[in-house]
Structures are given as C-alpha cells and as structure tokens.
C-alpha cells in the first residue's frame, strides 16, 4: 500500500471515529470470505458500520484523533485480523458477535470503548451483551413514569362506577325508611280528629 493510500485509509478511519460513542474492535481470524461477508451483511442490517482495517493504520488513526478520548488502552489488542465496528446502540456489536459465535469460534472481541469505559479482551463479551442500550434505558424510564399515571387513571375511571354502586345500595335503604315513616304520618290526622270530637270541658 502506498503512502498516499495509507493516508486516505487513516482519514477514513478517523471519519468513522469522529463523534463515535460506541467503538468495538473485533477479531475475524479464521473466518472465510463467505462468513465475513455474512457478518458484514448482518452488521449493516443492525446499523453497525464495519470496516476491516490494518492494525497499524487503526492505531495511527486513533492517535491522531483530537478530543478527550485516549484510545491507547485498546492498542495492545490490535493483533491479527481486525474489524472496526461503530454503532449507536451500546450492545449491538456484542450481540452480533455472540450470535455468530453460536456456529464458530470467531469473531471474537478484542476491545471496546463505550459509555466512557474501555473493555479489553473477549472475556468482556457477556458483560457488553448485557449492557442496557440508551433506547432500552429510556424505554424503562418511560415505563416507570407511566406506571403511577396508569394507576391514577385507573382509579379515576373506576371511581364513577363505585359511586353509582354506592348510590344503588343506598336507594333501597332510603325507600325502606320512607315506607316506615308513612304509617306515622297517616296516623297523625286520626289523632287530630279524635281531639276535635272530644267534648270540651265547661
């Protein structure tokens, strides 16, 4: 590869790394052309940008990146066949690697940088798979916030029914009370008639 070609590749890698929040470096060693092509196709479907790169050029690109991130912790893992993977979802590349590992030994995780933390070594794959993505965390927060609201709405919806039920229960009681009062009211005129018919004392 000419010097000019190397410069172009480094610029391309830097473009991928610019503003990247989720960076994975995978080992594709032992994967044939068909498996690599399938892996690349699955990555594309999951919105993961992937590029097979030379380790020296990847390291140079990372060294030239301007910003607060120092990628040097990942450099010792840059050996053998390397693929750079950039994603918006924290655990998407880890899940992709894990799914492919059900059928073969590779791909394997070399290192990763996400959520301001470095993970070096394939033993971190399970941890990365279980990391909540931003979307998942937002979804859980929304669910938690909606739960009390649902309870309030449910209570408000059930309240009219409860009020009507109480009114229905109270109606027979009121009718019974009215029925008991009626004889007393009817007896009152008779008493007043008797009082009128009684002879007055002279």
Cβ atoms of 81 and 52 within 8 Å: the answer is yes
- Cα–Cα dist 13/139, whole Å: 32
Q: Which sequence spans correspond to the domains of the chain?
A: 3-131, 132-185
Cβ atoms of 49 and 79 within 8 Å: the answer is no
Omega cis (within 30) before 85: no
- Cα–Cα dist 113/159, whole Å: 52
| Predicted local confidence at residue 193, as pLDDT | 47
| Predicted local confidence at residue 160, as pLDDT | 56
108 token code pair: 């394997």
Q: Per-residue pLDDT tens, the chain, 202 aa: give them.
A: 899 999 999 999 999 999 899 999 999 988 999 999 999 999 999 999 999 999 999 999 999 998 889 999 999 999 999 999 999 999 999 999 999 998 888 999 999 999 899 999 999 999 999 987 655 656 667 777 776 767 777 777 776 555 555 555 555 555 555 555 555 445 444 544 444 454 544 4
The gap between the terminal CA atoms of the chain, to the nearest Å, is 144
| Predicted local confidence at residue 196, as pLDDT | 47
- Cα–Cα dist 85/41, whole Å: 13
Expressed in percent and rounded to 5, the helix, strand and coil fractions of the chain are 60, 15, 25
User: 3-131 in CATH: which number?
Assistant: 3.30.70.1730
| Predicted local confidence at residue 143, as pLDDT | 73
């Amino acid at each position: 590869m000419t010097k000019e070609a190397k410069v172009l590749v480094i610029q391309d890698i830097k473009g991928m790394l610019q503003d990247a929040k989720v960076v994975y470096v995978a080992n594709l060693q032992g994967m044939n052309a068909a498996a690599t092509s399938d892996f690349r196709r699955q990555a594309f479907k999951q919105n993961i940008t992937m590029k097979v790169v030379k380790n020296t050029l990847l390291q140079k690109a990372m060294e030239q990146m301007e910003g607060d991130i120092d990628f040097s912790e990942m450099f010792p893992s840059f050996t053998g066949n390397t693929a750079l993977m950039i994603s918006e979802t924290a655990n998407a590349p880890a899940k992709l690697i894990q799914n492919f590992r059900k059928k073969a030994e590779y791909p394997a995780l070399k290192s990763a940088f996400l959520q301001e933390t470095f993970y070096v070594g394939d033993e971190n794959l399970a941890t990365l798979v279980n990391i909540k993505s931003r979307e998942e965390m937002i979804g859980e927060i929304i669910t938690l916030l909606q739960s009390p609201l649902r309870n309030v709405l449910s209570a408000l919806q059930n309240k009219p029914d409860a009020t009507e039920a109480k009114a229905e229960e109270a109606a027979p009681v009121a009718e019974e009370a009215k029925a008991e009062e009626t004889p007393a009211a009817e007896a009152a005129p008779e008493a007043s008639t008797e009082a009128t018919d009684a002879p007055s004392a002279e």
